[in-house]
Structure 1
Amino acid sequence: MHQDDFRFYKPCKLLQSYVRYYWAFKSNQRLNTLTFPIGCPQIIFHKQTPLYIPELNTTQDVLTISGQVNFSSHLYATGNTEMIVVVFHPHAMSMFLNIPTSLFYNQEVSGYSLENKSLNELAIRIFDCENNSICISYIEKWLLSQIDDNSANTTYRIERIDAAVQQIYITPQISVNELSSIACLSKKQFERLFHSFVGINPKEYTRIVRFQKALAQMQHQAGKEINQAQIAYTSGYADQSHFIREFKKFCGYTPLSLLKVSNPYSDLFTNPV
């Protein structure tokens, strides 16, 4: 798989608080790649062969909703892969699907099972279109139409959760009590809304952010000898052994063993556009 097979697209200004980026991938080669929890839900349109995920013993549908996951997984394809992916900010996908993101936790769900007529019509337009730039414009038009249909109250609640998420990025070891205070909600209200919008409970999400923050530091230290104690401290881990234990849980490798098989890359803390 070559970087040239990828193309990233930046969302329009009105969507940038909801969508991180879009990406398109096309290849006629066999695919076998390891992925890690990135902390962002996605909508995936497969224009050719969908991907198989052995850890879930499932093949993605041509229209797939991919929720928050807390484990590493392999992606397999036999060839003729072409896909367009919408990568949302952690809290934003439910704004467009009108159902809790928590329903997709550790799952790859067929978009057709949602019985969302406008989403199904969007998929038809994308599968009938060969120009990916035009496909992205179709996606953006659909996303904007969904914003128009949502209430101001929903937007207000999303903004509260977004404020908490932004603080987690800065201080991933922050407590749930502090996060609920930032969101101006009771702890119980905050946990309920966070789980609904982000798709995972706050404590588990902070663990994913710590992992991604560690990946980002390893990514930027490529070619150098990494200082595990320093990465542990900067990423918000209690100590080096906590860092190594948690890191292995999320990717199946210790930090040093991962360096022997791949180049660390943080999806959450890298902006490709």
Structure 2
Amino acid sequence: MIQDTFHFYKPCQTLQPYIRYYWVFKSDQILNTFTFPIGCPQIIFHKKTPLLIPELGIWQDTLTISGQVNFSSHIYANGHTEMIVVVFQSHTLNLFLNIPTISFYNQEVSGFDIENKSLIELSKRILDCEDNNLCIQYIERWLLSQASTMRMGTEYKFQRINEPLAQILKTPQVSVNELSSMACLSRKQFEREFKTFVGMGPKEYTHIVRLQKALSFLQHQKSTGINHAQIALASGYADQSHYIREFKKHCGYTPRSLLEMTSPYSDLFTHPV
């Protein structure tokens, strides 16, 4: 019997500004896992049976681009799972696919549908390879080759999003006007560029960051003793009522009811490698 196994891999130094990490998961167990919007797009390679997303009513493809989402979902696996996942920084997917990240908003898109020949060839190499360490090397080579062809104009626009995005991660209650001023763009221009790189509007993205911050505090609540009023303040909500209302909107549960159902985990504010 194959035990459930997770392996995390750190990207090479050149790719660290663009890639958060890679992870590999193997399981022969039937899984029904509750997941939250994590704030980072992903490319997923399924070497066995893909995952079912009941909220969307679809199975992921063997090569799937998972965009930014604003809802939580139940992920189902039938007991034959082996997947390799590339977790991008919040605003970097567009640089490697040359497609606005907003194109994948709230979607699980087949990588075979975007007509990226090199990505499809990469997928075939991974599906034919039994050594997942070697698969990670294949992925890194592909990412590095894509990075080497980044257009100067695109890279410049990407850099303008860095400071506003860092500010959101630090203080998600920041206003869009303040963020656009940081980027030296009008609000309309900033919102357009933000959607291109991040995959959703800046105001909506602050909601996801607030949720992930709250999940991080809930994840460590037993060790810190922080209460819900303190979590609301520290996560950037106006007050505890705002915290509970927005949390339930994105999770379907209040913070207390979620704690009764599962152990919260923040993908965005946890660094496994």
CA contact (8 A) 1:218 1:264 kept: yes
Give the secondary structure class of the aligned counterpart of 2:55.
Answer: helix
What residue in structure 1 maps to residue 260 of structure 2? 260
Q: 1:89 to 1:168 in 2, by over 3 A?
A: same
Give the secondary structure class of the aligned counterpart of 2:84.
Answer: strand
One-letter identity of the residue aligned with 1:98:
N
Task: Map 1:25-64 onto structure 2 (within 5 A).
Answer: 25-64=25-64
In the TM superposition, residue 222 of structure 1 has moved relative to its aligned partner by: 2.6
Whole-angstrom distance in 2 between the partners of 1:172 and 1:223:
24
Q: 1:203 to 1:4 in 2, by over 3 A?
A: same
Task: Map 1:1-273 onto structure 2 (within 5 A).
Answer: 5-222=5-222, 226-273=226-273
In the TM superposition, residue 194 of structure 1 has moved relative to its aligned partner by: 0.1
Q: 1:72 to 1:22 in 2, by over 3 A?
A: same
Whole-angstrom distance in 1 between the partners of 2:84 and 2:145:
19
* Percent identity between the two aligned chains: 68
Whole-angstrom distance in 2 between the partners of 1:190 and 1:24:
35
In the TM superposition, residue 223 of structure 1 has moved relative to its aligned partner by: 5.8
TM-score, length-scaled by structure 2: 0.97
Q: 1:228 to 1:192 in 2, by over 3 A?
A: same
Aligned length: 272
TM-score, length-scaled by structure 1: 0.97
Give the secondary structure class of the aligned counterpart of 1:55.
Answer: coil
In the TM superposition, residue 4 of structure 1 has moved relative to its aligned partner by: 5.5
Q: 1:186 to 1:34 in 2, by over 3 A?
A: same
Whole-angstrom distance in 1 between the partners of 2:258 and 2:115:
41
In the TM superposition, residue 253 of structure 1 has moved relative to its aligned partner by: 1.0
CA contact (8 A) 1:64 1:109 kept: yes
CA contact (8 A) 1:11 1:19 kept: yes
String of CA shifts for 1:173-226, please: whole Å, max 9, x gaps. 000111111112221111000011100000000000001001111112236654
Whole-angstrom distance in 1 between the partners of 2:249 and 2:243:
10
Whole-angstrom distance in 1 between the partners of 2:93 and 2:161:
13
String of CA shifts for 1:212-259, please: whole Å, max 9, x gaps. 001111112236654111111111101100000111111111111111
User: 5+ residue gaps in structure 1?
Assistant: none
Aligned structure 1 segments of 4 or more residues deviating by more than 6 angstroms: none
One-letter identity of the residue aligned with 1:178:
E
User: 5+ residue gaps in structure 2?
Assistant: none
CA contact (8 A) 2:37 2:208 kept: yes
Whole-angstrom distance in 1 between the partners of 2:3 and 2:164:
33
In the TM superposition, residue 151 of structure 1 has moved relative to its aligned partner by: 1.0
String of CA shifts for 1:148-188, please: whole Å, max 9, x gaps. 11112111111111221111011100001111111122211
Cα RMSD between the aligned structures? Answer: 1.3
Give the secondary structure class of the aligned counterpart of 1:82.
Answer: strand
